[in-house]
Chains A and B, each alone.
Chain A
């Protein structure tokens, strides 16, 4: 694979060059200390993989990715051990190395890059079919797509549930238990026998209730400890 390195630190570039020299699958065809120089090169040359430092002054690694129309595979390099998941919002990012890294870790990333092209389409297809952020509800024989993060409150109303989202409310023939099982457990919580709420939408909490926009939702005594555990309390 033809690769380039983009890192403002010469030591980091030297290390990647050395590790690449010991790996037969990669060939370093360019090494750049800033993103602008690299973009000029990329406008005239094709590469298969970029080793990209995220944290560069004035123009970050993420800025560079956004400027590329068809970015090649990218392995990010970073000194942040608590690396943000933001990286995987970009389809082209194959892996990331936390500096300093060794040959074994470097080689593992290269293997991922080599298999990335073949797996990508399958993974993408799977993700489309089984999008974890989406829920379909059946109303009048129509399946309506709901983006799960937009759901604020689910309220049990007899044989029905009232689903309140950022945009619209829906009444669906279902049970609270059924929908609770479909919602991600890290953001949704049953706070009362008749209510499941999206904890990200809470504005205010009192002793036995929470405020979500204009709705005051009761919190039962038995569910309160779990709610308090979930909150990022100061």
Chain B
């Protein structure tokens, strides 16, 4: 008795192909709300950031990643209003509580660069969940040297985070060295 030939069924299976979504679409906002876990945004934030950086793309993506774009508009009470800097926030979700990471970035900073910073935070918190978003209402506080692109030090004035979100870190993006400095208040 002759063994059945798999050629035809295998050929048919080879033809059964599905259109894969774009990488960034996997975590589009409407999809992240479906399974609203910060990690879904977080780790892939790093992936997307690396992708963007690898591709040399600057602000060239669409969708949820736009949330990373620093807010260039002034709002009432915004201490950064009129300066070249604005603030992005990174929430690090430790198992039971959320830690805020504030990153001071230059307005108009490319998404890729901000993504790099976020990726670095993600690397440092590999076991945690990281999500990046912008603070709409910055708390009042000094915006002096130490933040405005100069190297940070222990005495650098820190923006006061919302009390409910302590403890926190402040990361200052150092334009001079293209590094990220971390201070613990």
A and B from one assembly?
no
Interface residues, chain A, with chain B CB atoms under 8 Å away: none
Interface residues, chain B, with chain A CB atoms under 8 Å away: none
